Amino acid sequence: MSIDGVVAAGTWRLGDRVVNRMGFGSMRITVRRDRDVAIRVLRRAVELGINHIDTAAFYYSPGGILDGEDGPVRYATELIREALHPYPREMVVATKVGPDPRADGSWGEAISAADLRRQVEENLRRLGVETLDLVNLRLNRDQESFADRFGALADMRREGLIRNLGLSNVRVEHLDLVRDIAPVVCVQNAYAIDLRRHDDVLRECGARGIAFVPYFSIAGPQREAGAHSDPGRRLAWALHQGPHVLVIPGTGDVAHLEENVAAGALELAEDQRR
C-alpha cells in the first residue's frame, strides 16, 4: 500500500505546522488487548505519510490491559510515545483535555486551572515532550466557566507548555467567546454525512481559516458503537467538504488503516457528493 491517499488528500496549515489532511485518531488503539498490534498500527500510519495524530488525556484502557515493557500501559498517549518517540520533526500530536476519568470509574470534568494543568502535565509526561503541539479544550457540558478554562490553557501556551490551541464539541458562539483570548487553530466536532448538526460550524471555520476536524466521520450516528459501511466513501465525502477539513479515522487494525488512507485518493463526482 502506497502513500498515494495521504498525498492526494492534500495539506493544511495547522497553527505553525503544515499537516496532511489525512490523519489518524488514536482512541481505538486502546480497545484491543494486543499492545504489539497497537504499536504496529501507529508505526504503519507514519510509514503511510500520516503526520497528524489525534489523542486525548482520557483515551485509556481501564485496568491497564495492554502489557508494556515497563508494566501495564493504560493510555493512548503512552502507546504513541512507545511507538513513535522521538517523533518525526513534521509530526503533530494533538491532544484533548476536559473530561476527567475518576478512580472509581466515574467521569468528572477538569474545571479549575489546576485540574487543566494536571491534565496538560500528564500529557507532557506520557508523550515524553516538553511542549504539546496542540491542545483541544473539550466541552462536555455548556458551562459558564468555558472562557476561563480556555484562558487557563492560553496561560500555559504563554509559558511554552502548549504550542497551539483548539476546541472540541463546540458551537459557533464558542469561537466568539474565546476570540480575544488566544488563536484557535482547529475545531474538532462530531460530523459525518449522516451526522450534520455542525454544518454551520464547518462553514464558519472555513470562513475564519480554522481547521475543522470531524470525529465519527465513519461511524456517524453509531458513534462509539463501531464503523459504518463503506468507510472509504464516507471519508472521501468528509474531505470534499472543504480544504480546511482534516479527517482522523481511527482503527486498531493495520488493514483497516490502509483502507482508510486509500480513501484520500478517492474522487467523487458532483452527483455522488449530493
CA angle centred on 98, ends 93 and 103, rounded to 5° = 105
222-260 in b/e form (b: 16+ CB < 10 A) is eeeeebbeebbebbbbbbebeebbbbbbbbbeeebbbbb
Start-to-end CA distance of the chain, whole Å, equals 30
The type of residue at 146 is F
60 is catalytic: no
CA 153 to chain centroid, in Å, comes to 17
Q: Establish whether the linkage from the previous residue to 86 is cis, with ω within 30° of 0.
A: yes
- Choosing from 59, 60, 75, 87, the catalytic residue is 59
Pull the grid cell for residue 215.
470525529
Residue pair 184/165 in contact (Cβ under 8 Å)? The answer is yes
The type of residue at 156 is M
The type of residue at 1 is M
Catalytic residues: 59
